[in-house]
Structure 1
């Protein structure tokens, strides 16, 4: 069991749930950049700077998070399994020559991550906030469907999550436009969550 005294170090892999803060209605995994020990915090709490990771372990956001230390869950990164050596003379009868001898099998796991998918997820590309898969303004229709499924009808929690992403998008898009405030993004990020009657 992780104790509150365990130091938070750069490179730590943390699983953040509501035990760490009520903001994590949807649990996330982060890779710690550094513990912001110079930030004032209540007893038992800490500020960290970290990268939020997606299911493949790729960074999708750089965030500063206020967390309850006793609620942190450290994840171990298992060693990468060694690739199996091909049997001498073996070949794939269905698609001969489709893979070079000794090349890794597609879909193999890398560390704690899930197997790689055959399709691109509809995630935002920061700082442009366009969909990585289809290139349109995020959240696109497939992203909205995925978010509705993740939050399983809890539209209040979904709206809070999207409002936080909207604030991040406003800041990043303004920086791209030389500091000029962006147009109101409320309809794009949150307006669709509660359909108008």
Structure 2
């Protein structure tokens, strides 16, 4: 199964990260909010490895901007739900 480029996934989302605080631009919740998680799941069509890799990329980007956030919280927010 080929991996989707991050830009392709992001283009499909209606609940997107819209700030350097990593909040959803649509509902204001911390991104990925539950609707964004559902959209990400759907966009990967069951490719859980690809989805986890995509969210890992998002975690790295967020960690650069959310320097005060604990690694455990970032893991929970970006990766744990992909399992």
Same fold? TM cut 0.5: yes
Instruction: Point out which structure has higher relative CO (alpha carbons under 8 A, 6+ apart).
Output: 2
5+ residue gaps, structure 2: none
Q: Give distance in 2, aligned partners of 1:127 and 1:148.
A: 23
Q: Give distance in 1, aligned partners of 2:61 and 2:37.
A: 18
Mapping 1:1-197, distance limit 5 Å: 25-27=3-5, 28=7, 54=11, 121-174=14-67, 181-184=68-71, 185-194=74-83
Specify the SS of the correspondent of 2:66. Answer: helix
- Number of equivalent positions: 78
Deviation at 1:182, TM superposition (A): 2.0
**Which structure shows the higher helix fraction?**
2
Q: Give distance in 1, aligned partners of 2:42 and 2:69.
A: 29
TM-score, length basis structure 2: 0.82
Q: Give distance in 1, aligned partners of 2:44 and 2:11.
A: 16
